[in-house]
Structure 1
Amino acid sequence: MDEDGYGLATAIAPLLRAEREKAALTQAQLARRAATTQQHVSMIESGHVAPTIALLDRLFDALGLQLRVSVEQRDADLDAGMDAASDDTREDDLCTANSLTKRLDADVPFLLDGQLAAAMMGVPIKVRRTDLAFAEADADKVAHWLAGLPNVRRWSDKWQDFAPIDRDPRKPGPPHYWTPWGELHVRLLPAAPPPVRVVVAERSYPIRPLSDVEADYPQIARIIRRARHRT
């Protein structure tokens, strides 16, 4: 699974969706032809999953097509997404984060992390999920919070899909969840760093420092590097 949903997964997403619609097939119909699930096709088309080469071959073969590969300047694939993201507002993304964290015990500190943290600090990035970081000392409370969220599934590498499996982020497997409010990724840190505070609509949000985000999220680091190069 692509940790941040960028790179090839981002390029494949609109291509697969456009070709499927051109063939007048629903996601479920294409999934049956390619021996996968409708939800998996949906996740690929939204850029949230980096499919295997074998699955890509099956999906496009089911459309009577095949993929060709070319090369370009490093990070140039990010430009269109960065240009589109530069006009994004954060209201919907913060609303999702608020909906999730209001169910968290008030005594459990958290940091906005990953894509949303980068976007809040001016990086031109599409926010495709909510990333939250916690201190390992609060892991029990975080596990309790996740267990109490309704209708949540966790990503399974075995099934290559979200499934009703143990939500405890300390258990084996990606701490990546599908919730009624959108996708959620949880990171447990040995110790939470002092937050950067960003105020939006008179509300202060605790943000993980950008240098930490850049170090832990390679695809976000690519976007930051490209943004610096372009400026």
Structure 2
Amino acid sequence: MPSTRLVTLLGAVVRQQRQRRELSQRQLAGLAEVSQAAVARIERGERAPSIPVLERLCAAMDVQLVVGVEPLDAHLDARIDELAARPIAQRVDDLGLDQMMDALKDFPQVLIGGTAALLQGAPVPVDAVEIALRWEDSKRFTAWLEANYGQRWNARWEEFGGVWLEPEEPGEHRWSTLYGEIRATMCDELPETIQVRHGGRDYRVVPLVELELTDSRAADLLRRYRARHRAVES
């Protein structure tokens, strides 16, 4: 059964509540009278728990499930509103962008995606530094990852680690590092950029108009932000 946002959220809630009570999956399974394998699949978002099973899991952790409804993607609208109220400098600091840029200075790269949009004033959610890298620099990038405790995203297990670091190997171009998470787009030539300046520092970024043509995720967030902004003004 393919995972849905609700199944993923339920799994995350079960995992968070279990860890908060310092229970192992086996211990929770015993208390709720289900198998440890079932708990593991629920937490990974691979299985939608039945209502009776979910109630037993909650009861075993002395909590109860509260059901409610909200407009579709209201959580994303709330996040955009929150980000719009925060200075860009603070969001740059929260992302650890300057430390990452200092660490990556030994080979060419440019900022793309949500990171580029952030630096151009768009309050879109950004949870990783997004860069474009040339294929010809991939070996240098791999060496950098090895030196900075890099782990590549393992889509099968939905966690970092257990797969080859090299960009040439199959898999998402997404890594955790000593300086935070990186998401890379590998290309033959770096895209055209503009220069923006914040806090006395210059950044090379792909302009917003280009992002909306080439990056579907960034484009969706930008359109959502503009629609949200117009709705607030009207």
Give the 3 Å change call, closer, same or farther, for CA 190–211 of structure 1 in structure 2. Answer: farther
Q: CA deviation at 1:83?
A: 0.3
Correspondences of 1:1-231 after superposition (within 5 Å): 8=5, 12=9, 16=13, 20=16, 26=20, 29=23, 33=28, 34-35=39-40, 52=45, 54=47, 57=49, 61=54, 62-63=57-58, 72=71, 77-91=75-89, 94-95=92-93, 96-106=96-106, 108-149=107-148, 151-230=149-228, 231=230
Q: Distance in 1 between matches of 2:25 and 2:212?
A: 35
Q: Distance in 2 between matches of 1:181 and 1:90?
A: 19
**Residue pair 2:212, 2:219 contacting (<8 A) in 1 also:** yes
Structure of greater Rg = 2
The TM-score normalised by the length of structure 1 is 0.70
Q: Percent identity?
A: 21
Aligned match of 2:33? none
**Residue pair 2:119, 2:196 contacting (<8 A) in 1 also:** yes
Paired residue secondary structure (1:57): coil
**Residue pair 2:153, 2:175 contacting (<8 A) in 1 also:** yes
**Residue pair 1:147, 1:168 contacting (<8 A) in 2 also:** no
**Residue pair 2:88, 2:121 contacting (<8 A) in 1 also:** no
Cα distance per residue 1:42-91 (max 9 Å; x no partner):
xxxxxxxxx6351x638x82325679796846x65532111001023344
Q: CA deviation at 1:102?
A: 2.4
Give the 3 Å change call, closer, same or farther, for CA 181–191 of structure 1 in structure 2. Answer: same
Cα distance per residue 1:109-128 (max 9 Å; x no partner):
21112221111112111221
Specify every segment of 5 or more residues in structure 1 that has no aligned partner in the other structure, as ranges. Answer: 1-6, 42-50
Paired residue secondary structure (1:166): coil
**Residue pair 1:57, 1:67 contacting (<8 A) in 2 also:** no
Give the 3 Å change call, closer, same or farther, for CA 80–94 of structure 1 in structure 2. Answer: closer
Letter in 1 for 2:99: S
Q: Name whichever of 137-146 and 86-95 sits farther off.
A: 86-95
Q: Distance in 2 between matches of 1:179 and 1:111?
A: 18
Alpha-carbon RMSD across the aligned residues, in angstroms, is 3.6
Q: Name whichever of 152-161 and 134-143 sits farther off.
A: 134-143
Specify every segment of 5 or more residues in structure 2 that has no aligned partner in the other structure, as ranges. Answer: 29-38
Q: CA deviation at 1:179?
A: 2.0
Paired residue secondary structure (2:82): helix
Give the 3 Å change call, closer, same or farther, for CA 66–216 of structure 1 in structure 2. Answer: farther
Cα distance per residue 1:124-148 (max 9 Å; x no partner):
1122111111122322222222222
Cα distance per residue 1:143-166 (max 9 Å; x no partner):
2222221x2211112222111432
Give the 3 Å change call, closer, same or farther, for CA 29–91 of structure 1 in structure 2. Answer: farther
Give the 3 Å change call, closer, same or farther, for CA 190–93 of structure 1 in structure 2. Answer: farther
**Residue pair 2:109, 2:133 contacting (<8 A) in 1 also:** yes
* Count of matched residue pairs: 203
Q: CA deviation at 1:186?
A: 1.5
Q: CA deviation at 1:173?
A: 0.9
Give the 3 Å change call, closer, same or farther, for CA 155–185 of structure 1 in structure 2. Answer: same
**Larger proportion of helix:** 2
